[in-house]
Amino acid sequence: MDELYILRLVEEKKYIQIKKILEEMNEVDIAEVMDELDLHNTLLIFRMLPKDLAVDVFAHFSVEQQRDIVNAITDKELEFILDELFFDDMIDLIEEMPANLVNKVLKDSTVEERKLINQFLKYPPDSAGSLMTIEYVELRKKMTVKEAMLHIKEIGLTKETVYTTYVTDMNRKLEGFISLRLLVVSPEDAIIEDLMEDDVIFVTTHDDQETVANVFIKYGFLALPVVDTEGRLTGIITVDDIMDVMEQEATEDFQRMAAIVPSEDPYMTTSVLNLAKQRIVWLLVLMIAATTSAYIIESYASVLSSVVILASFMPMLMNTGGSSGSQASTLIIRGLATGEIEMTDGFKILWKEFRVSLIVGITLSIVNFARLMLISHAGFAVSLTVSLTLIVTVAIAKMLGSMAPLLAKKLKLDPAIMAGPLITTFVDAITLTVYFSIATVLLNL
């Protein structure tokens, strides 16, 4: 259904027609349409939706929309939404709410619910514990398949997933898992213990969300169990939640690679002042670091004054060096993020990038030497100086670009900070030093 058509119906106040259309739509699409409306129309249409659909739509609203809805609806309406929301979605809601709205959300919670909520809120914000949900199916290993299926039918609709069920002992320690597919095709009198897979891949409550994402990528799971320090099953993380994490981590990496302080706020809703704050810190750092290049040029002023043509090649050399370093750092940062590259691969990477840099550097220098001699008529000594600088600069830049992210990882920093802008700043200073040093020797200056 065309969003513009629905928005036009809203303007024309054809609410009965709107209600019929929305009831046939997917909740994600409805939330997207309502994102374009003001609070009055959003609330009006939200209250038109069937209750179960309204809950699903609410879960897909932006944080700002959820705040507005919670602030505007009655306590009874809010109570219904909270009762129907999956537990992890309710925790996400509470984490983003200001204190006055949190009190409104928690007002009708039971003692047990409050205890669980407080437990979840104590987990570090980027940990597996903060991502997990308690809506999973738990089986005992002495159950028969028939008993397990009856249990799933009884509670399945209230759980986030039933496709994978988890087997625990009397102390809730995780012992295995079994798929719904296997349960469906197995004899009714078969024992769960005989069917379950006991080689369980799991994460702990304090594992970082990036670690969790890497496990999902590696094994292709739809859900992943989370255990505490004693091996007791605490919750599960589903693939839809980890996809949000992957998007968030990728966004943060892109922002850091562009020398921007990471932010979860959408670009269009972020104020100009906040956008400036996110960018200016790194720009100040890079600007101050770049003054090193000015000092190097100043210290070789006599060389430049003797052979003025050398100055015309500085931008090309610095750009080539910076681009070479950025190419290497981007590949390594991505490899670290996906788990393809480990910290132990340092020497292999260094040796590979050195060989790559020789091929690239020599090729560039040959083309450049021919251009300078045949087109620019720069002279043999100057052409040789520029060409040799290219080889050395590309080699240093690629090895620095490949090692810097690994060093950042070693120092417990985000490797993404060692991306284009920072690498380019370092390489510029190195390029100028190499350039003027070679020029001093070859041109006898």
Classify residue 165: in a domain, yes or no: yes
Q: Report which residue type is found at 421.
A: P
Q: Name the domain boundary from 253, 286, 302.
A: 253
* Helical axes 39-48 vs 63-72, angle rounded to 10°: 70
Classify residue 181: in a domain, yes or no: yes
Classify residue 130: in a domain, yes or no: no
Contact (Cβ atoms closer than 8 angstroms) between residue 431 and residue 389: yes
At 396 the pLDDT is 93
Give the whole-angstrom CA distance, residue 248 versus residue 242: 10
72: left (phi over 0), alpha (psi -120 to 50) or beta: alpha
- Locate 181 and state its tokens: 């597919």
422: left (phi over 0), alpha (psi -120 to 50) or beta: alpha
Contact (Cβ atoms closer than 8 angstroms) between residue 103 and residue 58: no
Q: Kindly report the CATH number assigned to the domain that includes residue 173.
A: 3.10.580.10
Among candidate residues 416, 102, 433, the one with its CA nearest the CA of residue 300 = 433
One domain, residues 298 and 224:
no
Give the whole-angstrom CA distance, residue 333 versus residue 29: 35
Burial of residue 358 (number of CB atoms within 10 Å: 0-12, 13-18, 19+): middle
Q: Name the domain boundary from 95, 122, 149.
A: 122
At 351 the pLDDT is 94
One domain, residues 321 and 361:
yes
The four Cα atoms 346, 352, 356, 359 give a dihedral, to 10 degrees, of 140
At 111 the pLDDT is 61
Q: Kindly report the CATH number assigned to the domain that includes residue 52.
A: 1.25.60.10
Host domain of residue 271: 267-442
One domain, residues 117 and 17:
yes
Angle at 129 between CA 340 and CA 105, to 5 degrees: 135
Contact (Cβ atoms closer than 8 angstroms) between residue 428 and residue 439: no
One domain, residues 287 and 224:
no
One domain, residues 357 and 381:
yes
Classify residue 259: in a domain, yes or no: no
Angle at 353 between CA 352 and CA 356, to 5 degrees: 90
At 167 the pLDDT is 92
At 264 the pLDDT is 67
Classify residue 317: in a domain, yes or no: yes
Classify residue 261: in a domain, yes or no: no
What φ, ψ does residue 131 adopt, rounded to 5°? -95, -25
One domain, residues 117 and 169:
no
The model carries a pTM of 0.59
Q: Kindly report the CATH number assigned to the domain that includes residue 303.
A: 1.10.357.20
- Locate 317 and state its tokens: 């050399």
One domain, residues 105 and 220:
no
At 300 the pLDDT is 83
3-class secondary structure, 260: coil
Q: Name the domain boundary from 66, 96, 122.
A: 122
At 105 the pLDDT is 62
Classify residue 102: in a domain, yes or no: yes
Contact (Cβ atoms closer than 8 angstroms) between residue 420 and residue 257: yes
The four Cα atoms 66, 67, 69, 72 give a dihedral, to 10 degrees, of 170
CA distances for 258 relative to 245, 247, 401, 423, angstroms: 20, 17, 15, 11
One domain, residues 349 and 429:
yes
At 392 the pLDDT is 94
What φ, ψ does residue 120 adopt, rounded to 5°? -65, -40
DSSP 189: T
At 410 the pLDDT is 86
One domain, residues 17 and 163:
no
> Could you list the mean pLDDT of each consecutive 10-residue stretch along the chain, which spans 445 residues?
71 80 84 80 81 82 80 76 72 65 62 66 80 86 92 86 88 90 93 90 89 86 88 87 80 70 70 80 78 83 80 90 88 82 89 94 94 88 92 93 89 77 85 91 79
- Which residue carries 């969790």 as its tokens? 212
Number of other residues whose CB lies within 10 A of the CB of residue 73: 19
One domain, residues 167 and 284:
no
One domain, residues 97 and 176:
no
Among candidate residues 290, 319, 323, the one with its CA nearest the CA of residue 435 = 319
Classify residue 100: in a domain, yes or no: yes
Residues of 179-205 as b/e, b for ≥16 C-beta within 10 angstroms? bbeebeebeeebbbbebbeeebebbbb
One domain, residues 314 and 350:
yes
- Locate 188 and state its tokens: 């009714």
Domain count, the chain: 3
